[in-house]
């Protein structure tokens, strides 16, 4: 299995631009998670999907952030408009209700 696939691996954008991060979970996993990692706040859960349905989005920082999972093999995390404080590494993880397997992450830099 290829593991969780994330794209792009690196993204540099200017403040105000829209950013879309992509994730392909491991086949057969019915849970998908988006995390953000920063030096100041560590690893934070942003949103959790189960069977393509958002279950817990309490970690989404504000309305500028949105996530979708149109099918079992694809999810997106969108930031619109982006701000410098959104600079972080964003991880996607998939698994079941007990375990999570992480992708390599997308390093986002907003200038």
Binding span for other proteins by CB under 8 A among 17-25, 49-57, 62-70, 74-82: 49-57
DSSP the chain: ----EEE-SEEEE-TT--EEEEEEPPTT--EEEEEEEETTTEEEEEEEEETTEEEE-TT--STTEEEEEEETTEEEEEESS--GGG-EEEEEEEE-SS-EEE---EEEEE-
Nearer of residues 82 and 94 to other proteins, judged by Cβ: 94
Is position 94 an interface residue for other proteins (rule: CB under 8 A)? Answer: no
Is position 45 an interface residue for other proteins (rule: CB under 8 A)? Answer: yes
Q: Which residues bind other proteins (CB under 8 A)?
A: 4, 31, 42-43, 45, 48, 50, 55-56, 91, 93, 97-105
């Amino acid at each position: 299995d290829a593991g969780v696939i994330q794209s792009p691996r690196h993204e540099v954008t200017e403040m105000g631009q829209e950013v879309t991060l992509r994730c392909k979970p491991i086949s057969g996993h019915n849970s998908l998670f988006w995390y953000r990692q920063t030096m100041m706040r560590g690893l934070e859960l942003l949103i959790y999907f189960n069977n393509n349905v958002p279950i817990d989005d309490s970690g989404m920082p504000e309305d500028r952030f949105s996530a979708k999972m149109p099918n079992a093999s694809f999810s997106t995390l969108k930031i619109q408009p982006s701000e410098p404080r959104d600079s972080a590494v964003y991880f996607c993880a998939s698994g079941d209700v007990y375990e999570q397997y992480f992708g390599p992450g997308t390093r986002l830099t907003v200038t």
